Amino acid sequence: MNNILISAAKLVLPGHPHNGEIVDIHIENGNITRIAKKIVSKDKKQHIIDGKGCVVSAGFFDLHTNLGEPGLETKEDIKTGTAGAAAGGYTAIVAYPNTNPPIHSRSEVSLIVNTAKGNIVDVHPIGAISKKREGKELAELYDMQSAGALAFSDGNHSVQQGGLMGRALLYAKGFGALIISFPEDESIAGGNQMNEGEVSTYLGMKGKPNLAESLMVSRDLFLAEYNEAPIHFTCISTAESVELIRRAKSKGIRVTCDVAAHNLVFTDADVVGFDSNFKVNPPLRTKKDVKALIKGLKDGTIDAIVSQHTPHEIEYKNVEFHIAKEGILGLQTVLPFLVKAGLQAEEIVYKLAIRPRQIVGKKVPTLLEGSLANLVIFSLDEKWVYSVQTNKSKSANSPVFGEELIGKVKAVINHGQLVENY
């Protein structure tokens, strides 16, 4: 769409000359041509987006998305994954290497980059730290970065060998790359089903203790400090992890972290009904942990919020809880979850649009006159139903599927393309 007018939206972007103001924004051929309190146009062909009561900001950037491509396209492919991302307010996502084959060489990286070209949503591959994500031998990190890998992680396989993780940090540091740790000590976690605590005892299920996460956070912080290398932790979920990272930051260790949106609104008490859509990894924790996570977001210990979008076919979820696969859909529900968690517009913009880009060295869209339009328009109080009609994913494994949610993305604009949610 070549001629768009966003009317009467509140612009939220720290440092912008119109930050906090209600403005009209004119976009032509993908570029922001004018921002003013009132723009009058006589062009009858102009597409008008009513922004009254809405926020306009830089497009969201997700640091943790699981797509099925390559190899697991029945769960999700790049086309459906980016459709869900756009509906959730994202103009960029990173694709984790939880695929088959894993994204562990320049071939898979190139596949992702080339397949996603021309999309309204930018897709940045995350290369695997180890070959086949087996945690035994370093993958060709530099080769993958040259092909377009944004950072490196073994996805939902935590690197169990400390020596390998240390070498990865040291090697990546040499060419300015970021290592992302999914912190779980598998020997402590034991492949168990949910959080270890009163609820797991009540349900008679073996649980994953907080220690399984905090032990790995502690190890990797020591390794990052020893190698003087940056490290990012994804999907932290415990009060202990928040405190460890808070102390590390105060010591000057180059550490950042994120939290999955669902870990801010659900607890292990939600597992009582044995709904397998509440089965995630890391597991849903206690109210005490959720409180610590939100405090960590508020004080800056936790840098970003992610979707941890993990689609699964029905045969992997519509089964007994103990054999169901872990993970839920996330791209379209992050905003409603953050509204439910009590975050304000400024906090949402910082944790979803600004800080994620800074962590991986991407420029934050300026939304200045003359710049490319890379933005999202969203409402914090509009209601909508997450249903078969509104779901963009191939999968439907969400605990809020069929429910009315508060907080709706109205539209995203990027690369001269517009996607609206009606």
Give the CATH number of the domain where residue 239 resides.
Answer: 3.20.20.140
Please tell me the predicted confidence (pLDDT) of residue 85. 98
What distance in Å separates the CA atoms of residue 256 and residue 355, rounded to the nearest whole number? 10
Please tell me the predicted confidence (pLDDT) of residue 209. 97
Question: Residue 171 falls within a domain, yes or no?
Answer: yes
Question: Residue 199 falls within a domain, yes or no?
Answer: yes
Pick from 89, 2, 7, 88: nearest CA to 49:
7
Please tell me the predicted confidence (pLDDT) of residue 422. 82
Question: Residue 409 falls within a domain, yes or no?
Answer: no
User: At a CB cut-off of 8 Å and minimum separation 6, what does 211 contact?
Assistant: 185, 188, 240
Question: Residue 179 falls within a domain, yes or no?
Answer: yes
Question: Residue 332 falls within a domain, yes or no?
Answer: yes
From first to last of its 422 residues, what are the pLDDT tens digits of the chain? 689 999 999 999 999 999 999 999 999 999 999 999 999 887 888 999 999 999 999 999 999 999 999 999 999 999 999 999 999 999 999 999 999 999 999 999 999 999 999 999 999 999 999 999 999 999 999 999 999 999 999 999 999 999 999 999 999 999 999 999 999 999 999 888 899 999 999 999 999 999 999 999 999 999 999 999 999 999 999 999 999 999 999 999 999 999 999 999 999 999 999 999 999 999 999 999 999 999 999 999 999 999 999 999 999 999 999 999 999 999 999 999 999 999 999 999 999 999 999 999 999 999 999 999 999 999 999 999 999 999 999 999 999 999 999 999 999 999 999 999 98
Between the alpha carbon of residue 393 and those of residues 80, 82, 113, 169, 328, the distances in Å are 6, 9, 20, 34, 11
Place of tokens 């999309």: 119
Please tell me the predicted confidence (pLDDT) of residue 43. 81
Structurally, how many domains does the chain consist of?
A: 1
| Token couple for 3 | 């001629």
What angle do helix axes 210-227 and 162-174 make, rounded to 10 degrees? 40
What distance in Å separates the CA atoms of residue 92 and residue 390, rounded to the nearest whole number? 20
Please tell me the predicted confidence (pLDDT) of residue 294. 98
Instruction: Encode pLDDT of 92-109 as tens digits.
Output: 999 999 999 999 999 999
- Domain with 154, as residue range(s), is 66-359
Question: Residue 45 falls within a domain, yes or no?
Answer: no
Instruction: Encode pLDDT of 190-239 as tens digits.
Output: 888 899 999 999 999 999 999 999 999 999 999 999 999 999 999 999 99
What distance in Å separates the CA atoms of residue 292 and residue 237, rounded to the nearest whole number? 9
Whether omega before 230 lies within 30 degrees of 0, making that bond cis, reads: no
Q: What is the pTM of this model?
A: 0.96
Question: Residue 33 falls within a domain, yes or no?
Answer: no
Other C-beta atoms closer than 10 Å to the C-beta of 104 total 25
Question: Residue 151 falls within a domain, yes or no?
Answer: yes
